[in-house]
């Protein structure tokens, strides 16, 4: 029985190898798709590089008030902002360039393995279509419209829950919580936008 399974597996190997094989045409289509997707790859890598800097800024912001004398806060804040800018000026281009370099061996390999040549042609044509480009350009507006409506629709229910959470956590820490109404909920668009 095991011998029959082994023989069947060995006979099936060429079929799997044929499906995973790439052709020059597939490689060219994948390169075309990756070129189209480069702005998305760059945006993803930028966000990844910026995330630690934002965390440092958030942490420093709360520490600044607690640990730095009032007369020195502005100078220290400027120094911290300069440090973060220096980090971003160094890290963002490095991470972006690495993402672009790694894309062919990661995303490209997946595309070659999972899509037929015909599917890659269809995908490239779709990604290059004016309708898709118009849809992509509306992405920020669509997200903003949904977020504004969602915020207005859920504010009455969520804000009291946030206030309760703040009071509960503050109670556990032995401090008095500030009312949640003074700050916009997380994810809220800036005032006046």
Q: Tens digit of pLDDT for each residue in 101-142? A: 999 999 999 999 999 999 999 999 999 999 999 998 999 999
pLDDT, position 22:
82
pLDDT, position 151:
92
pLDDT in tens, 38-50: 999 999 999 999 9
* DSSP secondary structure string for all residues of 61-97: HHHHHHHS-GGGHHHHHHHHHHHHHHHHHHHHHHHHH
Please list the ranges in the chain whose pLDDT falls under 70: 1-20, 177-193
91's tokens = 């890290």
pLDDT, position 178:
57
123 touches 168 (CB < 8 A): no
Using only C-alpha atoms, the chain has a radius of gyration, in whole angstroms, of: 26
């Amino acid at each position: 029985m095991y011998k029959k399974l082994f023989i069947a597996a060995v006979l099936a190997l060429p079929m799997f190898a044929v499906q995973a094989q790439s052709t020059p045409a597939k490689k060219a289509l994948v390169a075309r798709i990756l070129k189209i997707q480069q702005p998305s790859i760059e945006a993803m890598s930028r966000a990844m590089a910026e995330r630690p800097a934002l965390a440092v800024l958030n942490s420093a912001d709360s520490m600044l008030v607690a640990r730095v004398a009032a007369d020195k806060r502005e100078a220290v804040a400027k120094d911290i902002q300069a440090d973060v800018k220096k980090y971003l000026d160094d890290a963002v281009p490095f991470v972006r360039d690495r993402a672009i370099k790694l894309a062919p061996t990661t995303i490209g390999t997946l595309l070659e393995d999972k899509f037929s040549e015909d599917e890659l042609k269809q995908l490239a044509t779709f990604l290059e279509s004016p309708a898709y480009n118009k849809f992509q350009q509306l992405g920020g507006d669509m997200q903003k419209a949904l977020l504004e409506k969602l915020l207005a629709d859920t504010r009455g229910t969520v804000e009291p829950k946030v206030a309760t959470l703040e009071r509960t956590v503050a109670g556990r820490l032995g401090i008095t919580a500030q009312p949640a109404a003074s700050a916009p909920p997380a994810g809220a668009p800036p005032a006046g936008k």
